[in-house]
A = this chain, B = another copy of it.
Amino acid sequence: MNFAGRMDFLQDKELLNAMELTETEDMISFSAGFPSPETYPVEDIKESFIKVLENEGKEALSYCSTSGYGTLREIIAKRMQDKFGLQYDKSEVIITSGSQQALDMSGMLFIDKGDVILFETPSYLGAVNALKAYEAELVAVPTDHDGIQIDALKEALDRYGSRVKLIYVIPDFQNPTGRSWSPERRKEFMDFIGDYDIAVLEDAAYSELSFEEQLEKPLSYYDKKGQVVYVGTFSKTFCPGLRVAWLCARHEIMEKYLILKNAADLSSSAIAQRQMAYYLQHHDLDAHIKKISKLYQERRDTMMKVIAQEFPKEAHYVVPKGGLFIWMELPENKDARELLKRAYAEKVAFIPGGSFYPSGVKNNEMRLNFSNMSEEEIRKGMRILGRLTREYLLEK
């Protein structure tokens, strides 16, 4: 059988494997970027489903409009205004089936074969997979502790010129590094990119999972000409099993997304959207987020403690102030894939850093998720990983 040319690019199965590994029982897995299932407010969700089916069962089981359930879109728009000062009208919000679908549709909307997409690097593997499918050249732009590097960005724009159609960034508690852009860098970036006619895809999946009081203003907040496409999701703050996320864009762009959403799956699940709206109207999502952020902060602390005790000092890392991940760097001559092999043998898993490079792969890094395992599992798994790392680093 003949397949489309794009299939030649889509060979990286790391994320796929990470997802399938979730079904392996006795693995201590620091791989996947999952929230912790014991935090799900199962009872409240059950109540919401019951109420939705009792009050509006027929509507909840029918097709939804392509843009999504109006009430939910209104609540989301208001919530983003309250939290981040973002001014989106309900008509500038569309519901997507997870934020992954929003990334996929963005490739569909902006990318022709041979176009260039700039990636803050390292970057989210799922975005790399989704956007690779549109046969773009993915170009890495390095990020430092304050965010994407503006001089490197300028260099890439000079080099690739009008071929650049999209810039993909995760300014808050970035996947995989856990870093956040400073407010100054956000402003600098938006000032700079405002001179170009290029769409910016802002992935805000982790933005609300902060361990500090103050949330940062998104890039979209500084956007004067409507070039930012903002993507949010309930998958990390609530639960991923409903597949309810959203995309915000100004009208000219939103019109096009609507056409693509319709082509992609007609509409997202009506009952999942109405359940979410009911929950938001009758329960306190902010209190829930506060609770899980506290839990994740404790787990981060536990992981940090074991790292400090058990890992060799040649393993570098930064303490993340939110999100789900720690990023660890081994000496340059070391390969995290080799370490992973040894870890698998002792039933511990993580994702080697090479998977997060859209181009110019480095293999001496690794991503460690701290949200999804219990403190006991974190202690046990990280001790094993620490010992294996020590042993590996001692080898020539």
Q: Which positions in A face B, CB cutoff 8 Å?
A: 1-7, 10-11, 13, 15-16, 19-20, 22-23, 32, 34, 37-38, 40, 42, 45-46, 49-50, 53-54, 57-66, 97-98, 100-101, 104, 108-113, 115, 126, 129-130, 132-134, 165, 197, 199, 227, 235, 239-243, 252-253, 256, 258-260, 262-272
Task: Tell whether, in the assembled complex, residue A63 and residue B240 are in contact, meaning their CB atoms are under 8 Å apart.
Answer: yes
| Contacting residues, chain B, for A19 (C-beta < 8 A) | 63, 65-66, 262, 266-267
18 CB-based A-B contacts, threshold 8 Å: A1-B199, A4-B108, A7-B109, A7-B259, A16-B259, A16-B262, A19-B262, A23-B65, A38-B58, A40-B62, A42-B53, A61-B240, A62-B240, A98-B265, A101-B264, A113-B113, A129-B262, A133-B260
Kindly list 8 other residue pairs between chains A and B, CB separation below 8 angstroms, not including A3-B256, A19-B65, A269-B272.
Answer: A16-B259, A22-B62, A37-B62, A45-B61, A49-B50, A62-B239, A63-B241, A241-B270
Task: Tell whether, in the assembled complex, residue A100 and residue B265 are in contact, meaning their CB atoms are under 8 Å apart.
Answer: yes
Distance in Å: Cβ of A90 to nearest Cβ of chain B: 14
Interface-centre pick from A13, A22, A199, A264 (highest chain B CB count, 10 A): A264
Task: Tell whether, in the assembled complex, residue A100 and residue B264 are in contact, meaning their CB atoms are under 8 Å apart.
Answer: yes
Task: Tell whether, in the assembled complex, residue A241 and residue B130 are in contact, meaning their CB atoms are under 8 Å apart.
Answer: no
- Given known pairs A37-B61, A65-B20, the reply for A130 and B1 (CB within 8 Å) is no
Shortest beta-carbon contacts, A-B, top 8:
A42-B57, A37-B58, A61-B241, A241-B270, A61-B239, A46-B53, A101-B265, A129-B263
Task: Tell whether, in the assembled complex, residue A269 and residue B241 are in contact, meaning their CB atoms are under 8 Å apart.
Answer: yes
- Given known pairs A133-B108, A252-B1, the reply for A10 and B263 (CB within 8 Å) is yes
| Contacting residues, chain B, for A37 (C-beta < 8 A) | 58-59, 61-62
Chain A interface helix/strand/loop/mixed: helix
In the complex, residue of chain B having the shortest beta-carbon distance to the beta carbon of A67: B20
| Contacting residues, chain B, for A7 (C-beta < 8 A) | 109, 256, 259
| Contacting residues, chain B, for A57 (C-beta < 8 A) | 40, 42, 45-46
- Given known pairs A46-B50, A269-B269, the reply for A15 and B110 (CB within 8 Å) is no
| Contacting residues, chain B, for A100 (C-beta < 8 A) | 263-266
| Contacting residues, chain B, for A240 (C-beta < 8 A) | 61-63, 270
A45 CA / B57 CA spacing, docked (Å): 9
- Given known pairs A1-B197, A38-B58, A241-B269, the reply for A104 and B253 (CB within 8 Å) is no
A6 CA / B50 CA spacing, docked (Å): 42
A197 CA / B3 CA spacing, docked (Å): 11
Distance in Å: Cβ of A277 to nearest Cβ of chain B: 14
| Contacting residues, chain B, for A101 (C-beta < 8 A) | 264-265
